Amino acid sequence: MMGKEKQKEIVQKLKLIGSWLEEKKGEDLLLLDVSKLSNVFEGVILATASNARHAKGLADYILEKVKEENWELLGLEGYQGGEWILLDLNDVIVHIFLEDIREFYNLEGFWFKAEKVEL
């Protein structure tokens, strides 16, 4: 179990990343607190991009902001293709999808028990 302070931190981090995605026109944002469901990370963000170029632009912006915040980036997957980009920020995982890929993999269904965080 995670302490209340850590949980507050995660919620704030989710909201901040969500606001960055919103700034750059990320669509259908879903912020999830998965701390009660995962031992590996505490937050998940799902966002839809209008095309691969937009997805890469969203990822670039998040990477720039992560650097500014001095947060740890553990991994970046899928950037080349731009259909599904995953950014591993250690305690938060960000997924940026094209709409059809997001529908096909339905991560919302996988994380249906997670607590939604309002932006």
Which pLDDT score is estimated for 1? 53
User: What would the mean pLDDT of 111-119 be, rounded to a whole number?
Assistant: 95
Which pLDDT score is estimated for 18? 98
Report domain extents, the chain.
4-117
Q: Model-level pTM?
A: 0.94
Classify burial at 103, counting beta carbons within 10 Å of its beta carbon; exposed 0-12, middle 13-18, buried 19 or more. Answer: exposed
Which pLDDT score is estimated for 4? 83
The pLDDT tens digits for 73-105 are 999 999 999 999 999 999 999 999 999 999 999
Contact (Cβ atoms closer than 8 angstroms) between residue 17 and residue 92: yes
For residue 2, pLDDT over 80 is answered with: no
Fold of the CATH domain 4-117: Beta Polymerase; domain 2 (3.30.460)
Which pLDDT score is estimated for 97? 98
- Sign of the alpha-carbon dihedral angle for 2, 58, 79, 100: positive
Q: Partners of 87 in the beta sheet?
A: 76, 94
The pLDDT tens digits for 4-35 are 888 899 999 999 999 999 999 999 999 999 99
User: What would the mean pLDDT of 44-72 be, rounded to a whole number?
Assistant: 98
